[in-house]
Amino acid sequence: MTRPMDTKELTSRLLREHGRTYADEAGITLRDKPAPLYQLLVLTVLCSIRIKADIATAAARELFGAGLRTPRAMVDSRWQDRVDALGRAHYVRYDESTATALAEGAELVLDRWKGDLRNLREEADREPSVVRDLLQEVPRIGPVGADIFCREAQEVWPELRPFFDDRTCETAASLGLPHTPRGLGRLVETKDLARLAAALVRARLSKDAVSELRAA
């Protein structure tokens, strides 16, 4: 009989098989700088509806490939160009409303935070709960979207760490792992927190990943 994996082995397998962040998949080199933080916000907007994550990340790549990497570029772009970029990624049904939401969100970022989400961070006094509240002022982003942003942004905003939302904690519990943010945070080095959060999300969304990991 095969010996069940211990917590360390299971965590290593999670990171190895599923630990790619969604920012990385979308082509975002995440840093605490205005452009990549805005790009993460765009990705968050795209992920904040019922659509497959791979389509959302593909749509982000199309928008960024069209030069829409900053709020100013987004605001100055044509609505039809945004729709076309989303369409190339098969981001269907929501392409027109999302094209509008992206422009409205970019206007907010420019007007409220001078085009720099680090100003949102400072407005929140670096308090995670307030960061989440402010993010929800962006069109299309609700509580789930705010969690998406914070899961990824913990890589560059230390005050968010360790950030594991209810869904990731539930998945961790189903795998027999610690199921609180603090407990999960102890499993990996700081640099891998966002990767572990992404791995738990990917395992949850996969048809077979959780059952395979539990059976291993």
* pTM as predicted: 0.94
Round to whole Å and give the CA distance between 186 and 76: 44
Residues with Cβ < 8 Å from 203, sequence gap 6 or more?
A: 14, 18, 171, 175, 209, 210, 213
Percent of the chain whose predicted confidence (pLDDT) is above 90? 90
Average pLDDT over residues 50-62: 96
Q: Helix axis angle, 193-205 relative to 143-153, nearest 10°?
A: 140
The count of other CB atoms within 10 Å of the CB of residue 174 is: 16
Which tens digit of pLDDT belongs to each residue from 97-114? 999 999 999 999 999 999
Which parts of the chain fold into alpha helices (H)? 7-18, 22-25, 34-47, 53-65, 71-76, 79-88, 95-113, 117-123, 128-135, 143-153, 166-174, 181-185, 193-205, 209-215
Query: What's the whole-number average pLDDT of the chain?
Result: 94
Residue 85: which of 96, 70, 72 has the closest Cα?
96
Round to whole Å and give the CA distance between 97 and 86: 11
Tokens linked to 25: 């998949």
Round to whole Å and give the CA distance between 118 and 152: 15
Which tens digit of pLDDT belongs to each residue from 114-155? 999 999 999 999 999 999 999 999 999 999 999 999 999 999
Which tens digit of pLDDT belongs to each residue from 148-207? 999 999 999 999 999 999 999 999 999 999 999 999 999 999 999 999 999 999 999 886
**pLDDT score of 216 more than 80:** no
